[in-house]
Copies of this chain bind each other. A is one copy, B any other.
Amino acid sequence: MDFTTAAALDEGLELDDRADEARKDFFVVKDGECFAGTHLLVDIREAEYLDDITHIDRTLRKCVEAAGATLLSIDLHNFEPNGGVSGVAILAESHISIHSWPEYGYAALDVFMCGDAMPQKAVPVLKKAFNAGRVDVQEVRRGKGMVG
C-alpha cells in the first residue's frame, strides 16, 4: 500500500479500527512527506455526455467507490442554454467537483482526498465514463508541513 496515515502511525492503530469515524482526517505520508491530502486537478477534453446530469451523478458515485471514499452529499446543477453541469460530491475525505462545457467537450474536475483514499483511482473511471480523448492530471499535495 502506498498510503499510510500519520494519525494511525502515531497512535499505533490499525486503519480498520478507525473505519467508524465520521471524519477521515488522517494525514497522508508518501515519499517521506506528510501532508493533509492529495488534490488532483483533472482536465478532460474531447469528451462526451457532459450535459447528462444523471450520467454525471452516476459517474461521480463510481469515482467515490473506486477511490475507496465515503460520500456525504452530492449537489449538481444543470445550466442553460449550453447544458453545462456544475456540482460537487462532498466526501468524508474532502470532495470531487465538476464543471463542464459540453459545447467544447471539456470539463474541469477536482478530486481532493485526504487519508488513505486513493484519488488516482478516479481518473480511469472519468476517462471511460466520458469517453475522453485527452485527460490531463496535475497533482497537488495540500497542507504540506501542517504537522511535524
Residues of A within 8 A of B (CB): 22-23, 25, 36-37, 39, 41, 43, 45, 72-73, 75, 77, 79-80, 82, 84, 86-88, 90-92, 94-95, 97, 99, 101, 104, 106, 108, 110, 112, 114, 138, 140, 142-143, 146-147
Are A86 and B79 touching (Cβ within 8 A)?
Answer: no
Q: How many copies does the complex hold?
A: 2
A-B contact pairs, 9 of them (CB 8 A): A25-B82, A36-B101, A37-B108, A43-B143, A72-B86, A95-B99, A97-B97, A104-B147, A108-B112
Which residues of the partner chain B approach A84 to less than 8 Å between Cβ atoms? Answer: 23, 25
Q: Closest residue to A97 on the B side, CB-wise?
A: B95
